[in-house]
Amino acid sequence: MKIKNLSKTTVVLLLIVAALSILVVSGMMLRTRTIENYGTIKSVGDFAIYNDEACSQELTVIQWEQLNKGGLYQRDAYVKNLAAGDTVYIKWNYTMSGTYLQLTMEFDGNVWEENTRKRALPPSTVLRIHFALQVLDNAVSGDFVYRQYFVGEDTA
- Tens digit of pLDDT for each residue in 146-155? 777 777 777 7
Is the same domain home to 115 and 148?
Answer: yes
Please, are residues 104 and 111 in contact by the beta-carbon 8 Å criterion?
A: yes
Is the same domain home to 75 and 4?
Answer: no
Mean pLDDT of the chain: 77
Rounded to whole angstroms, the Cα distance separating 13 from 21 reads 12
Residues 6+ positions from 79 with CB-CB distance below 8 Å: 43, 47, 48, 49, 50, 90, 107, 121, 126, 127, 129, 150
104: domain range? 35-153
Please, are residues 106 and 74 in contact by the beta-carbon 8 Å criterion?
A: no
Is the same domain home to 3 and 61?
Answer: no
Is the same domain home to 71 and 90?
Answer: yes
Is the pTM higher than 0.75? no
**Residue 29: pLDDT band with limits 50, 70, 90:** very low
Is the same domain home to 17 and 56?
Answer: no
Is the same domain home to 42 and 64?
Answer: yes
**Antiparallel, parallel or unpaired: β 88-96 and 72-81:** unpaired
Is the same domain home to 22 and 82?
Answer: no
Is the same domain home to 13 and 69?
Answer: no
pLDDT tens by residue, 32-62: 444 455 667 777 778 888 999 999 999 888 8
Angstrom CA distances, 92 to 60, 84, 151, 155, stand at 14, 22, 6, 15
How many independent structural domains does the chain possess?
Answer: 2
Is the same domain home to 114 and 62?
Answer: yes
Is the same domain home to 19 and 89?
Answer: no
CATH code of the domain containing 94: 2.60.40
Rounded to whole angstroms, the Cα distance separating 37 from 139 reads 13
Rounded to whole angstroms, the Cα distance separating 38 from 43 reads 17
Q: State the pLDDT at residue 55.
A: 93
Is the same domain home to 1 and 74?
Answer: no
